Structure 1
Amino acid sequence: MKSTLIASGLPLATVNAAIGEAARLVGTSDFYAALLAAFRSLVSHDIATMVRYSAVGRPSFLMHHGFSDALARQYETTFHVFDPFHRYWAQTERPGVVSLDMFPATATRQSRYVREFLQESSITDELGYFLPAMGRASVALFLERRIGRFLESERAAMEDFYPLFAGLESAHVNAVLAAAIGRGAGGVSLPLAIMLRDLEGCVIHASEAWRDLESRNTNLRRAVERLTAENAGEAVLDDATVLHRTRISPAHSSAPEGWLFTVEKSASSSTDYDQAIISELNPTLTPREIDIVKLVLEGHPTATIAQRLKLQRGTVKNHRLRIYEKLDITSERELFLTYIQALQRHRANG
């Protein structure tokens, strides 16, 4: 931590307060502004930028301090082609700490990016983070200087704090995604499968269940394209499942204002969860645990399960913990996917 204090010139309490504020805002539209503010507290700088990099699309500025909107637009329309960091992400998709001196002089110092864009921006050096990817996109944070270069001690300070920033980003993405699919609301059924597309139409994430369903159901891909073309929100896939299309919040900066597609049980579906298949998940499940699994899969919260089975809420919670241990899972979502996989095996075996 000493290197961090030397690099930033700020008291550790100030740095911690900025990071704590970002943690407080996880899952909200103000998170990334707070994250960039915390990032700026680590090392002295003249310019700070936040850019979304995609391995399958062009980069886009999300936020910037000390940088003009005109230069940001010029980068997005022209100079991104020569950006070594853009090439780095497209080729490696590797998160971590990065700096301009990572790249050979012949590839950067003499390129149009350095000769024109950095000179026009009055930038002499860049140091930053590529945060963990969501699909094939990363939110990258950069500090730039107009005079001089970043020191090795400053890079070391950035290395020290990278796991904390990466963890905050992952927590935020999970929170936003959970809210988008309604996982945070008690009693709401989990989707069978999910897929995210960014504004350019690139798929940045597809769950394993989605890929499996797409390979078996040719209607799914056609339904996705039909909803997109018609700017519609829902399409019936069959008598048991429905495809939903929902706008992604700007807070989800891996795909800001993109689209979330979910395949869910039809509200009118008579599909029931087969207790025999549930019992096959683990032979040691007791009849009471099988009943609880069935009610969880139907979307009932702990309080409702306790009421239906005439149990204490604490007893239901204990049963759920034992069920998760037996199935080697940690969440309702994993329970749902485990059941779907068992059901698919059952159908494949006739």
Structure 2
Amino acid sequence: MDSGPHISGRRVPMTRSTQLLEQWNRGIADMLSALDQESFAPRLLQSVTRLIHFDFLMVFAYRGAGRPLALGDTLPDPQRQVVINAYCAAPYVLDPFFQRVAAGVQSGCYRLRDIAPDRFRQSEYFRTHYSLTGIREEVGFYFPLGDATGVLSLARWEASPGLGRSDMDLLEALAPAISGLCARHWASVAAPASLTRPRLRDAAQVNAAYTEFGAKQLSDRERQIVSLILQGHSTGSVAHLLDISAGTVKVHRKNIYRKLGLSTQAELFAAFLSFVG
């Protein structure tokens, strides 16, 4: 059995790095051959999993703060309803990946747990949406789509192991090629006729939700705190971000609930999503 490539008639044993490079080059060839075809997303997943295991992928296009457009995925229908359809209905506004898009990020590779707020797993977004998806690990690759931004998410279910630092190092090395191919494949989405306002909610409508939610009852500072709480920031994190004391945050939080006629964070989350919808 051949152990590696030949140089001047000599067989050269393949190192681990050479094996990875050979496998990735095969993946690049497969993805290039599938550009502009429905098989591109499955080929992309297959190419990455030759190097690092992921259970599925999903791709969204965002224009500003507008409702995302699902571009593709490799999910079965039952999971798609929870992971994608329910997400696009409203919870996306509190997604850490979306928050980066809203902040202007158009490139890079990020693991969700690295960019999520400190109390993400205690947030209402996690409790009422993300925990229901069954996702354990998620890595997002950002790529430009004209005046929109695409995000490819590679994900693992809860039954799969977590990602290690070496896994992320490799994914970050692959990111330029993955993002470039995604931008090329979904380039048509950037055309005005493809990414229309009826398909993506007007960004101003969602931006207004942040500034107008509770506007008649809450002060500007209280609305800032509401936004951070819903994103999953703890009292300490809110205090740090706004440069105020934790005690002041607690007083504001108590006043927010009183003014809005609410008792819990769950009720706050439901009221905000209803306002956005």
Q: Which TM-score band (shorter chain)?
A: 0.5 to 0.7
Aligned position for 1:44: 53
| Cα distance in structure 1, aligned partners of 2:16 and 2:122 | 36
| Cα distance in structure 2, aligned partners of 1:66 and 1:48 | 7
Aligned position for 2:67: 58
| Cα distance in structure 1, aligned partners of 2:60 and 2:184 | 19
Tell me how far 1:17 sits from its aligned partner: 2.2
Task: Kindly indicate whether structure 1 or structure 2 has the higher relative contact order, using CA contacts under 8 Å at least 6 residues apart.
Answer: 2
1:200 has 2:213 as partner: no
Tell me how far 1:24 sits from its aligned partner: 1.8
CA contact (8 A) 2:54 2:154 kept: no
1:90 has 2:102 as partner: yes
Instruction: Name the amino acid aligned to 1:127.
Output: V
Instruction: Name the amino acid aligned to 1:94.
Output: Q
Say which of 153, 156, 163 aligns to 1:150: 163
CA distance 1:106–1:146, change in 2 (3 Å): same
Instruction: Name the amino acid aligned to 2:80.
Output: D
Q: CA RMSD in A?
A: 3.3
Say which of 28, 31, 50 aligns to 1:22: 31
| Cα distance in structure 1, aligned partners of 2:123 and 2:18 | 32
The TM-score normalised by the length of structure 1 is: 0.44
Tell me how far 1:116 sits from its aligned partner: 2.9
Tell me how far 1:104 sits from its aligned partner: 4.6
1:114 has 2:126 as partner: yes
| Cα distance in structure 1, aligned partners of 2:45 and 2:110 | 16
| Long gaps (5+) in structure 1 | 6-10, 181-193, 204-350
Structure with greater proportional helix content: 2
1:166 has 2:179 as partner: yes
Say which one has the larger Rg.
Answer: 1
| Cα distance in structure 2, aligned partners of 1:114 and 1:78 | 13
Deviation track 1:316-337 (CA, whole Å, cap 9, x = no partner) reads xxxxxxxxxxxxxxxxxxxxxx
CA distance 1:172–1:81, change in 2 (3 Å): closer
| Cα distance in structure 2, aligned partners of 1:151 and 1:142 | 15
| Cα distance in structure 2, aligned partners of 1:195 and 1:163 | 25
Deviation track 1:12-49 (CA, whole Å, cap 9, x = no partner) reads 54443232111123344543443343334442133332
| Long gaps (5+) in structure 2 | 1-14, 201-277
CA distance 1:111–1:60, change in 2 (3 Å): farther
The TM-score normalised by the length of structure 2 is: 0.54
What is the aligned residue count? 182
Tell me how far 1:200 sits from its aligned partner: 2.1
Instruction: Name the amino acid aligned to 1:136.
Output: A
